[in-house]
């Protein structure tokens, strides 16, 4: 028999049935297996589809039952997040921005509040009498200032926090105040547990009871026990109830966050390092200065002291300025030729108004000399004529053209002038038109001084010397020509001086050398003077202004050499005197 | 930082405290033993490259009338029994203490220090005492508080044993 199915097709259905039976015999198990696998595949597809429908409920259900799902998914979610951030950080930043923004704002607000608090404390500390006293004590005893503050102002300070494994007494974590060094925290931790056991064994208290607090000097040890760990804090000072609550909260958090580590603890403290920040949260120092409420009644001092200083400084400046203003104003009022009518002093601008004589000193200069800034100052001044003697004198001095060589004084309404006075002043005094306050000028004690051009002319005349031969009163031609020009200079001087209302006199002094008899010499001298006077008269000089003085040998011109002395004394010399008219305006 | 709680127990007068005194870091006085009944010292040893701190709970010496304080033994990772080699009965008394302690902490790494080996003339222990038969025999080391013999070895052995047997 062959297995070809086509061979007996003509025989109808019988061969088909036989073939199927044969197939069952030969490949039946494989067919069944194929069927099973096919069903299995279909069933799997069904489960995946169903899973999609039920996944949210399934997650919610498992999540409410225990934390296994969270733990299982944790690493996958972490990896997914990391990968997502790595690929597109911007997306994640945008997503968490609404959370980060408020969190950052809150952190900044807290930091600012902390800053304000610490500034308040610093002000309290440094400005209070108590703070100063402590600084002095620190300086005197050599103890650091913070220690002194703690000694006096400490309410309480948590100095150490021990996290201890309950069963073994081994130290899991320990934190202490920054300035405190605790080298054997592990030994202390052990002993702390041992003492707990000791007390429990000794007094047999109720189940769960324990030694919760004990005090040594200013230190108190507060122990809180949980099922797997103890939290002991060492407090210096008076601990408040809130501290105990915080201790309990911390211990509960440790139990919650480190449950598995506590259960599996076999001596390795490393897994408890992340608990440090939690424990550090318990470390705190509270001083009377930081404690809210207590120093409230003295709190105003914190602001009052600087406020007082500011007010004192401003007040001092104001008073100083007012004094200076008053002084300057008094000086100005005393100033001759100035009359203060109104003075007002505002915050920024000061103004003074009044009257001022044109010759008086500038008021702004007077005020500046009195120490008053002229920048904020404005002055309004009307001119007036002052009859104050100083101003009258000043005015007269100016109008007469007197210089510092003249001494001037006022008696009644007459101005007395002495010293050297320009010749013009004489003329002006005589011409009248005297300044207000003066009725007359007395120049009798004053000696006139010529204007520069006339003065040099006068000096050249004084220096002129007409010389003669021994025993002779005759003049050579050259001397006669010279006398002619001399005469014209003399006339020029006379005219100039006359124009200023004064007159000149010329003294001619005739001399001889000492040889010969006195009578002869006197006669010779007279002849010489007469001769020169005669020649001057010929040249048009008014002889009434000439004074002839034949001294012969009486007042010789000096010279070291006798021959030279004899030569220069055979001569006629000249001296001009100017006489001013002393008559004053009053006289006219 | 790996720490192990080690309890040291022994019969009164076996020189237990003297034995370790020079080899441990201590901040508490011997007075604690007679007052609180325990004194805690610290011993640093090195197992491989791992530093181990042994917190040594030195328990007050016991006699037949007084039990070891079970509270102090709780949670221990290792035990040091101290017997006096010149007083054979201390070894026997130790087995009672041992029963009591294992009742509290279970089977944990333990070592027995046979102390006062320096007193060779008075030594009373034979080889069966020092190497007892049976599975319950605790590891034994001859020690001397006077010469320091065996002290470091005791700590080292116990530290290694607790590391081998981390789950207590």
Cα–Cα dist A550/A536, whole Å = 17
| pLDDT tens column, A548-581 | 999 988 889 898 898 899 999 999 999 998 887 6
Residue B3, pLDDT > 50, answer yes
B60–chain A Cβ distance below 8 A for any pair: no
Scanning chain B, the segments in alpha helix (DSSP H) are 16-21, 31-35, 70-73, 88-105, 127-130, 151-164
Q: CA-based angle A129:A134:A137, to the nearest 5?
A: 130
The contacts of residue B142 (CB under 8 Å, 6+ apart) are B85, B113, B114, B117, B130, B149, B150
- Give residue A126's pLDDT: 64
Cα–Cα dist A139/A156, whole Å = 24
Scanning the structure block, which residue is given the tokens 């009359």? A339
Alpha carbon A510 to its chain centroid, in Å, reads: 85
Closest CA to A168 of B49, B2, B116: B2
Scanning B73-112 for CB atoms below 8 A from A yields 74-77
Closest approach of B78 to chain A, Cα-based (Å):
11
B162–chain A Cβ distance below 8 A for any pair: yes
For residues A508 and A535, the answer to whether their CB atoms sit within 8 Å is no
Instruction: For residue A188, list chain B residues with Cβ-Cβ distance below 8 A.
Output: 27
Cα–Cα dist A252/A248, whole Å = 6
Residue ranges and CATH numbers for the domains of chain A are: 134-294 (3.30.450.70), 302-382 (3.30.300), 389-447 (no CATH), 450-579 (3.30.1330.60)
Instruction: For residue A204, list chain B residues with Cβ-Cβ distance below 8 A.
Output: none
ipTM metric: 0.85
Q: Which long-range contacts (CB under 8 A, 24 or more apart) does A412-416 make?
A: A413/A437, A413/A438, A413/A439, A413/A440, A414/A438, A414/A439, A414/A440, A414/A441, A414/A442, A414/A586, A415/A440, A415/A441, A415/A442, A416/A442, A416/A445
B69–chain A Cβ distance below 8 A for any pair: yes
- Inter-chain CB proximity B28 and A191 less than 8 Å: yes
Say what angle helices A477-499 and A452-462 make with each other, to 10 degrees.
150
Closest CA to B143 of B134, B131, B151: B151
Work out the percent of chain A whose per-residue pLDDT is above 70. 92
Instruction: For residue A186, list chain B residues with Cβ-Cβ distance below 8 A.
Output: 3, 42, 53, 55
Q: CA-based angle B73:B74:B78, to the nearest 5?
A: 60
Scanning A467-486 for CB atoms below 8 A from B yields none
Q: CA-based angle A513:A519:A524, to the nearest 5?
A: 50
* Cα dihedral A129/A133/A134/A140 (nearest 10): 160
A435–chain B Cβ distance below 8 A for any pair: no
Cα–Cα dist A170/B5, whole Å = 7
Cα–Cα dist A302/A295, whole Å = 11
A184–chain B Cβ distance below 8 A for any pair: yes
For residues A383 and A410, the answer to whether their CB atoms sit within 8 Å is no
For residues A458 and A576, the answer to whether their CB atoms sit within 8 Å is yes
Closest approach of B68 to chain A, Cα-based (Å):
12
What is the arithmetic mean of pLDDT over B37-49?
90
- Inter-chain CB proximity B77 and A270 less than 8 Å: no
List chain A residues with pLDDT less than 70: 1-13, 44-46, 119-127, 289-299, 374, 581-588
- Give residue A171's pLDDT: 93
Instruction: For residue B28, list chain A residues with Cβ-Cβ distance below 8 A.
Output: 187, 191
Cα–Cα dist A226/A248, whole Å = 9
A580–chain B Cβ distance below 8 A for any pair: no
| pLDDT tens column, A358-373 | 888 888 888 888 877 7
- Inter-chain CB proximity A194 and B57 less than 8 Å: yes
Cα–Cα dist A457/B150, whole Å = 138
Closest approach of A254 to chain B, Cα-based (Å):
19
Residue ranges and CATH numbers for the domains of chain B are: 2-164 (3.40.50.300)
Closest approach of B46 to chain A, Cα-based (Å):
15
For residues A222 and A282, the answer to whether their CB atoms sit within 8 Å is no
Residue of B nearest to A263 (CA): B167
Residue of A nearest to B59 (CA): A194
Closest approach of A262 to chain B, Cα-based (Å):
13
Closest CA to B72 of A194, A549, A245: A194
Closest CA to A168 of A269, A271, A279: A269
With cut-offs at 50, 70 and 90, classify the pLDDT of residue B79: very high
- Give residue B66's pLDDT: 66
Residue A207 carries which DSSP code? T
């Amino acid at each position: 028999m062959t297995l070809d199915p086509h061979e007996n097709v003509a025989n109808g259905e019988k061969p088909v049935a036989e073939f199927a039976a044969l197939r069952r015999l030969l490949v039946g198990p494989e067919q069944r297996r194929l069927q099973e696998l096919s069903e299995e595949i279909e069933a799997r597809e069904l489960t995946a589809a169903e899973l999609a429908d039920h996944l949210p409920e399934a997650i919610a259900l498992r999540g409410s039952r225990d934390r296994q799902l969270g733990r299982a998914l944790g690493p996958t979610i972490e990896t997914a997040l990391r990968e997502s951030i790595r690929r597109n950080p911007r997306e994640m930043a945008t997503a968490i921005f609404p959370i980060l923004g408020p969190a950052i704002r809150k952190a900044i607000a807290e930091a600012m509040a902390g800053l304000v608090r610490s500034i308040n404390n610093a002000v309290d500390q440094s400005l209070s009498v108590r703070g100063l006293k402590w600084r002095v004590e620190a300086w005197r005893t050599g103890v650091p200032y913070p220690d002194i503050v703690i000694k006096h102002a400490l309410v309480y300070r948590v100095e150490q926090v021990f996290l201890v494994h309950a069963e073994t007494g081994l130290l899991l974590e320990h934190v202490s105040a920054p300035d405190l060094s605790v080298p054997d925290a592990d030994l202390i931790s052990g002993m702390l547990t041992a003492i707990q056991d000791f007390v429990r064994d000794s007094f047999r208290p109720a189940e769960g009871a324990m030694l919760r607090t004990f005090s040594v000097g200013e230190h108190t040890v507060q122990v809180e026990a949980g099922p797997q760990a103890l939290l002991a804090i060492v407090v210096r000072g008076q601990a408040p109830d809130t501290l105990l609550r915080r201790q309990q909260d911390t211990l509960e958090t440790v139990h919650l966050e480190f449950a598995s580590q506590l259960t599996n603890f076999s001596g390795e403290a490393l897994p408890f390092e992340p608990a440090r920040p939690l424990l550090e949260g318990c470390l705190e120092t509270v001083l009377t200065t930081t404690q809210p409420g207590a120093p409230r009644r003295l709190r105003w001092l914190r602001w009052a002291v600087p406020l007082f200083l500011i007010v004192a400084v401003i007040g001092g400046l104001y008073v100083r300025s007012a004094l200076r203003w008053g002084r300057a104003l008094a000086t100005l009022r005393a100033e001759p030729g100035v009359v203060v009518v109104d003075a007002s002093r505002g915050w920024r601008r000061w103004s003074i108004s009044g009257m001022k004589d044109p010759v008086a000193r500038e008021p702004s200069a007077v005020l500046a000399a009195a120490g008053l800034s002229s920048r904020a100052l404005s002055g309004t001044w009307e001119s007036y004529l002052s009859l104050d003697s100083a101003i009258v004198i000043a005015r007269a001095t100016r109008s007469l053209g007197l210089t510092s060589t003249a001494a001037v004084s006022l008696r009644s309404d007459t101005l007395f002038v002495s010293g050297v006075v320009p010749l013009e002043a004489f003329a002006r005094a005589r011409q009248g038109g005297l300044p207000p306050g003066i009725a007359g000028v007395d120049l009798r004690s004053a000696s006139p001084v010529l204007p520069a051009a006339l003065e040099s002319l006068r000096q050249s005349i004084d220096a002129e010397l007409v010389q003669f031969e021994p025993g002779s009163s005759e003049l050579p031609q050259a001397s006669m020509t010279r006398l002619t020009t001399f005469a014209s200079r003399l006339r020029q001087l006379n005219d100039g001086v006359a124009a200023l209302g004064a007159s000149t006199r010329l003294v001619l002094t005739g001399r001889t050398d000492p040889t010969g008899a006195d009578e002869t010499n006197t006669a010779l001298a007279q002849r010489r003077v007469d001769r020169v006077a005669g020649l001057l008269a010929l040249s048009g000089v008014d002889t009434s202004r000439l004074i002839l003085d034949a001294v012969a040998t009486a007042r010789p011109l000096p010279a070291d050499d006798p021959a030279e002395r004899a030569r220069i004394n055979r001569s006629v010399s000249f001296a001009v005197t100017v006489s001013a008219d002393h008559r004053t305006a009053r006289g006219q | 930082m790996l720490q192990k709680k080690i309890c040291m127990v022994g019969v009164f007068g076996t020189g237990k405290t003297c034995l370790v005194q020079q080899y441990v870091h201590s901040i508490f006085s011997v007075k604690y033993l007679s007052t609180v009944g325990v004194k805690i010292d610290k011993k640093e040893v090195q197992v491989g490259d791992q530093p181990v701190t042994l917190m040594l709970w030195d328990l007050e010496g016991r006699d037949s009338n007084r039990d070891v304080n079970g509270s102090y033994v709780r949670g221990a990772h290792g035990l040091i029994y101290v017997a006096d080699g010149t007083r054979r009965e201390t070894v026997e008394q130790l087995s009672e203490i041992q029963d009591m302690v294992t009742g509290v902490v279970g089977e944990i790494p333990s070592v027995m220090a046979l102390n006062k080996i320096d007193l060779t003339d008075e030594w009373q222990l034979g080889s069966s005492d020092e190497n007892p038969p049976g599975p319950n025999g605790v590891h034994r080391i001859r020690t001397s508080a006077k010469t320091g013999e065996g002290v470091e070895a005791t700590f080292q052995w116990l530290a290694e044993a607790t590391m081998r047997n981390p789950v207590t």
